[in-house]
Amino acid sequence: MRSIWNGAISFGLVSIPIKVVNATENHAISFRQIHMEDGGRIRYRKVCELEEKEVTSAEISKGYEDADGSVIPISDEDLAALPIPTAKTIEIVAFVPEERIDPLQMETAYYLSANGIPAAKPYTLLREALKRSRKVAIARFALRGRERLGMLRVVDDVIAMHGLLWPDEIREPEGVAPDSKVTVRDAELDLADALMDTLGEVDISSLHDDYRAAVEELIAAKVEGVTPQEAPADEEPGGGKVIDLMAALENSVRAAKTKTARGGDSGSGESVAEVRQLQRGGGKKKAAPARKRAAAEPKDVGGKKSTSSTRSTRTAAKSPSKATKSTSKVTTKKTAATKTATKTAKKAAPKKRTSA
């Protein structure tokens, strides 16, 4: 990779010669401006407004426009003569935990490469020190005509630097939050949590630019002289319409679960009552096995369910001791009644006379 800046990292009294290369690249498709009538290129020319003639790049310098409209010329030599210690040095000023850096401050990312064999040792020392401390280095550096703030951190085995905005360049979010006081219910938060759990995590490296791919297909179709297919019309966005938030969340959970199921996962969200089950990763309840349902249902007698026989059977099954006791009581009563009847019959019968 081609370096865009050469200098050194100042780490206390340690100086580490480095090269700076871009860590990112732009894959956006660029277009030219053309004349619609004949397809001719539209070009911009740099013209001096006083002389009304085109000038070359060598004739162009910088200038600062004052409040009264007058322009003060500033040459490259003037800027180079400024007493900036960071003109060729990335000066580390502090080490802080990474979470102290507001992502709003982050700008362009760069890789810092050791410049030469002698720089390998101090470069590795700084890299390993950053790893072990689990901190990032805050530094000052000058690039493209102005001093900047940077953050050094370790990426794999390389020291990377993120350009940072100065604190006074971050705007306060005044007037951005909703004006009225809004209350969110627990049920709505539960559904939002369920939707977040359903969507889950993603491998960032698997994401790609669908719009760029569509533009490339459009260009390829134009080159081949084929009429590109029209994309299906998307549903109109909600815009300023008042929506049922609970219904929208439920539908979102259901759609996300369905999408996940198509990808190999099972289960789908159904209602607010099942939010907790969805959060645990469960789906719909399974139906009871056929055998168990058949055993639980009463038998049919002539097309009607024999409820009484089933109840008596259940009662007998549940209380076998009670049934045994009642049977023994009946038997005892019958035996006592038989004995009493026998005694009464003997008393009432006439005695036999014996002959002389």
Q: How confident is the model over 68-123, as pLDDT tens digits?
A: 989 999 988 887 777 777 778 999 999 999 999 999 999 999 999 999 999 999 99
Burial 283-304 (b: 16+ CB within 10 A, else e): beeeeeeeeeeeeeeeeeeeee
pLDDT in tens, 139-189: 999 887 788 999 999 999 999 999 999 999 999 998 888 888 888 889 889
pLDDT of residue 159: 97
pLDDT in tens, 289-333: 444 444 444 444 444 444 444 444 444 444 444 444 444 444 444
In the chain, where the domains are located: 1-26+88-172, 186-230+242-279
pLDDT of residue 244: 75
pLDDT band at residue 65 using 50, 70 and 90 as cut-offs: very high
Q: How far apart are CA 252 and CA 179, in angstroms?
A: 27
pLDDT of residue 202: 81
Is a pLDDT exceeding 90 seen at residue 277? Answer: no
Contact yes or no for 84/145 (Cβ under 8 A): no
pTM of this structure: 0.60
Cα–Cα distance list, 133 to 96, 109, 136, 170 (Å):
9, 21, 8, 28
- 1-26+88-172 CATH: 2.40.290.10
Bigger pLDDT: 248 or 28? 28
| C-beta atoms surrounding 90 within 10 Å | 27
Unique residue bearing structure tokens 């081949």: 224
Bigger pLDDT: 297 or 257? 257
